[in-house]
Amino acid sequence: MAIDKVTRVLVAVHQDHRDQFLKKLHRLGVMHITQTEAATSESQMNADSRRVIQAIETLTPHAKKSKSAASRKQLSRREFDDVAASFNHAGAVDRLATLTRQEAELEARIRAIETETSRLELWAGLKHSPAEMYASKTVTVWFGSFADSDGLKAAEDALAGMPAGVEVVGRFDGQVLALVATAPGSADTASRVLSEHGFEVEDLRNVKGKPQQVIAGLAEEGRSARQRLQEAGAEIDQLSSVLPELKVAADALANEEARKATAAALARTESVALVHGWVRTRDVGRLNRLVEESGAAAMTEVKPAEGEEQPVALVNRPVFRPFEMVLELFSMPRPNELDPTWIIAPFFGIFFALCLTDAGYGIVVAVLAYFMMRKMGMSNKLLGIVLIGAILTIPAGALVGGWFGDIPDRLGVGWLQAFKNRLMWFDPIKDPMKFFIISLALGYVQLIAGIVFEIADCLRVRNYGDALLGQLPWFIFLNALVARVLLGKSLPAWVAAGLIVLILASVAAVVVFTQRSRETALSQTLWFSLILSFLVYFGTKIRWLPPALAAAKWAFLGLFAAMFLRAAWSVVSSRRYKAAPVALAVLGLGGVVLYFVRILPPLPAFLPGLLFILLSPASRSMGTRLAWGGYALYGATSYIGVVLSYIRLMALGMCTGGIGMAINVIAWMVMPIPVVGVIGALVVLIIGHSYNIAVSVLGAFVHSLRLQYVEFFPRFYTGGGERFAPFRETNEYVTVK
């Protein structure tokens, strides 16, 4: 739950041993390498790797069909190296490429045969070879169709006085297929007549034989093509047995590409390659042993360059580790910041659960996430977040009675309803205010947690000013205000008065100390005391505070007098006798006198004196600081919007439950339909709840993420660090133990 310490190192490796050293360093996986030159972009190795990956994608469906080599396998390092060295992946990939190309060609030919057969079947009644008839020099022929028998009859009548004839070959879907023949000298006239009567010409020049014979030949060719296609498919199925070896080859090639790219980016001399980078302090010994064992390298710890920041290596317990993804998607913490993963995790999980708010959905999502992690790797952070959120959804859904909407009530099973009611705390449909209050309370708690986190982080780096004067006043102000509003009537009078004093002190601190410096520390302290004493006295006048605290008036007067004298001395000692300050000083003295003789009220009496103090050299720049402090105090209204933003938890939770209930209503409406009612209801339930789960999980994740980024992080988080990414092997397809 912290940022791990890292050390800057430089390793010098002899060029002859560079590749071997990088291979061992890659497998060790402890060094974050800082590249100094651009790596090469494309290579033959890249093309080879892409061909292997494409082969894996092609063979995977066949492997699943044959139930062999379809899952992620675990191999020892020795087994992995043996397979990578001995397996001829190029031969397998080339053979697969040949087979897939044959498949594509055969499938295209089969489709062409089927299309041609369908076309010729209409002309199966033709007793002549169309190609021979087209080649005749004594007659001109057309093959085509009339829209109907009337068109045929009209064309025959029009051609009656010409040396032409029409032979009906067949009929299809009302159309009449016909052969029209005429003497060459009458071809143009006959063509015009046929066109006028809607004759659609069909080109059969490529049919070299009687259609029936051609169809038989196509059928034989089709059978042969299907046989060859089946043989090619069977060989591909058989080739899928090498899928595990191909996966090893793909991972080995990808890692080799990474090593070559890194080697190309290293700074170098004629004889030495220089590997700059960072190592976790606890891993320096492991790297040093590797260097010593290589016999051709030397390592030294170096001082980081001026302004260079170390990469950030997060260290979290397994239960918190998935939530590192929240930072990785946003921005890594700076090296001098605390890692907030551990404080993000519980809030994110609870928010996810409240957005989903259905115990049945939680069970389904948890099971799916677990099995997907088994297949994709237990270190998958996204699935880890979903799994934890789904597990938390189960009790959250049970507390509001959500079990696939209202299925227990719909089923009417007594013990099931009793079980649901025994676990249910409230029904959000009937009593939404509880959900509303829970959402606001969680928002407020996370808001305060962010402030506490920032205070702790500032104290850790000994930034006491930001901790005690920047963040602590807000912490006291918000908590005292909430306690006074919510518990005011039930608190003893002295406790209520104490809370008001804390609120006023926090207000004064925010106004005075929002912008601070060591040069104005005395002035800011005096102004803080002055403003606080005035606010306490004013509180007694409006009866917020007991009369006993009216003595704050004398503290105010004493502080005013001391600050006035200090301001006057600063003017005299600096010899800055400007007209405005002098006039304000005179008016200030006169106003105080008139106040004590009860001629002027407090505000007009003391205002000139306060302005004189602000304009004097003793309070240099205090006017600007107080103005910024007042603006910061006005910004407190933003906290209301921040807390109200958490109402989305209630909105999403109630939407999930409402849609689930609507799906159940539709299913029960379908159920009374005779024969198919029950099946239809099951289809509605399965499809409807599956859709609702998918949409709700997406909404729960996105909105929980938004609350962290938009509402929580601005309270304390800076970010901008570089992620510690050690140079290590990454295996996409197999697991190397």
What is the pLDDT at residue 39?
A: 46
Same domain, 694 and 612: no
Is 556 among the domain residues? yes
* Same domain membership, residue 682 and residue 616: no
Within-domain flag for 374: yes
| pLDDT tens digits, 158-194 | 888 888 888 888 888 889 999 999 998 888 888 898 8
Residues 609 and 649 in one domain: no
Q: Is there a single domain that holds both residue 479 and residue 557?
A: yes
Q: What is the pLDDT of residues 316-348, one digit of tens each?
A: 899 999 999 999 999 899 888 888 999 999 999
Maximum average pLDDT range among 130-139, 300-309, 355-364, 632-641: 355-364
Q: What is d(CA 97, CA 54) in angstroms, rounded to the nearest whole number?
A: 10
Contact criterion met (CB below 8 Å) for 224 and 13: no
Q: Residue 72 domain-assigned?
A: no
Q: Is the pLDDT assigned to residue 372 strictly greater than 70?
A: yes
Q: Residue 617 corresponds to which tokens in the numbers above?
A: 């050299």
Tell me the pLDDT tens digit for each residue of 457-466: 889 888 888 8
Q: Does 697 map to a domain?
A: yes
In terms of domains, do 581 and 696 share one?
no
pLDDT for the residue 107: 93
Q: Which regions of 103-147 does DSSP assign to beta strands (E)?
A: 140-146
pLDDT at 387: 96
Who contacts 522 (Cβ-Cβ below 8 Å, separation ≥6)? none
Nearest to 700 by CA among 397, 424, 420: 397
Question: What's the confidence (pLDDT) of residue 40?
Answer: 45
pLDDT at residue 388 greater than cutoff 80: yes
Q: What would the pLDDT profile of 552-564 be if each residue is shown by its tens digit?
A: 888 888 888 888 8
Question: What single string gives the DSSP state of each residue in 251-302?
Answer: HHHHHHHHHHHHHHHSEE-SSEEEEEEEEEGGGHHHHHHHHHHHSSEEEEE-
| pLDDT range class, residue 686, cuts 50, 70, 90 | very high
Mean pLDDT (whole number) for 667-696: 91
Assess whether pLDDT exceeds 80 at residue 582. Answer: no
Q: What is the mean pLDDT of residues 289-308?
A: 87
Q: Of the segments 248-257, 386-395, 568-577, 663-672, which one has the largest average pLDDT value?
A: 386-395
The verdict on 658 and 619 lying in the same domain is: no
518 and 385 in a common domain: no
**How close are the terminal C-alpha atoms of the chain, in Å?**
27
Helix (H, G, I), strand (E, B) or coil at 542: coil
Residue 302 lies in a domain: no
Do 649 and 629 fall into the same domain? no
pLDDT of 37 higher than 60: no
What share of the chain in percent tops pLDDT 70?
97
Q: What is residue 286's predicted lDDT score, i.e. its pLDDT?
A: 93
More confident residue, 17 or 596: 17
Residue 14: helix, strand or coil by DSSP? strand
Closest CA to 374 of 716, 4, 105, 735: 735
Q: Where are the beta strands (DSSP E) in 357-494?
A: none
Indicate whether 737 belongs to any domain.
Answer: no
- Across the chain, mean pLDDT equals 87
- Residue 594: the pLDDT is 78
Are 651 and 604 in a shared domain? Answer: no
**Residue range 636-649, pLDDT digits in tens:** 888 888 999 999 99
> How many other β-carbons are positioned within 10 Å of the β-carbon of residue 736?
16
What pLDDT, in 10s, does the model give residues 102-116?
Answer: 999 999 999 999 999
Q: How confident is the model at residue 399 (pLDDT cuts 50, 70, 90)?
A: very high
What's the pLDDT at 631? Answer: 87
Asked whether residue 484 falls in the same domain as residue 567, the answer is yes
- Predicted pLDDT at 111: 93
Q: What is the pLDDT of residues 415-425, one digit of tens each?
A: 888 898 899 99
620 and 651 belong to one structural domain: no
Q: What is the structure's pLDDT at 365?
A: 96
C-beta of residue 100 within 8 angstroms of C-beta of residue 236:
yes
Number of domains present in the structure of the chain: 3
d(CA 425, CA 437): 14
Q: Among the three residues 601, 635, 669, which one is the final residue of a domain in this structure?
A: 635
- 105 belongs to a structural domain: no
- Structure tokens that stand for 302 in this block: 């170096």
Q: Tokens 């009906």 appear where?
A: 168
Res 703: pLDDT: 95
As a dihedral over the C-alpha atoms of residue 664, residue 668, residue 670, residue 675, rounded to 10 degrees, the angle is 130
Provide CB contacts within 8 A for 700, sequence distance 6+. Answer: 351, 352, 353, 355, 356, 389, 652
Least confident of 293-307, 424-438, 487-501, 581-595: 581-595
Strands of the sheet containing 175-182, edge to edge, are 164-172, 175-182, 140-146, 200-201
Examine residue 582 and state whether it is found in any structural domain, yes or no.
yes
pLDDT band at 615 (very low <50, low <70, confident <90, very high): confident
Please report which confidence band the pLDDT of residue 12 belongs to, taking 50, 70 and 90 as the band edges: very high
Question: Does the pLDDT of residue 219 top 90, yes or no?
Answer: yes
Q: What mean pLDDT do residues 424-451 have?
A: 92
Alpha-carbon dihedral 440, 443, 448, 450, rounded to 10 degrees: -170
The per-residue pLDDT for range 50-95, each reduced to its tens digit, is 888 888 888 888 876 544 445 678 888 888 888 888 989 889 999 9
Residues in CB range of 323: below 8 A, 6 or more apart: 316, 341, 344, 345, 348, 381, 385
With a cut of 80, say whether residue 281 has pLDDT above it: yes
Domain with 189, as residue range(s), is 128-209
Whether the predicted pLDDT of 1 surpasses 60: no
> Which of 600, 635, 670 is the last residue in one of the domains?
635
Alpha-carbon distance of 205 to 200, in angstroms, equals 15
- pLDDT value of residue 162: 86
Q: Is the pLDDT confidence value at 270 over 80?
A: yes
* Domain boundary residue, one of 176, 209, 242: 209
pLDDT tier at 391, thresholds 50, 70, 90: very high
**Contact at 8 Å (CB) between 237 and 66?**
yes
- Interstrand relation of 200-201 and 297-301 (parallel, antiparallel or unpaired): unpaired
SS3 725: coil
State residue 603's pLDDT score: 74
Convert the pLDDT of each residue in 511-561 to its tens digit. Answer: 988 888 877 788 888 889 988 998 898 888 888 888 888 888 888 888 888
pLDDT score, position 416: 86
Q: What is the pLDDT of residue 32?
A: 93
**Per-residue confidence (pLDDT) for residue 36, from 0 to 100:** 61
pLDDT band at 411 (very low <50, low <70, confident <90, very high): confident
Q: Are residues 648 and 628 in the same domain?
A: no
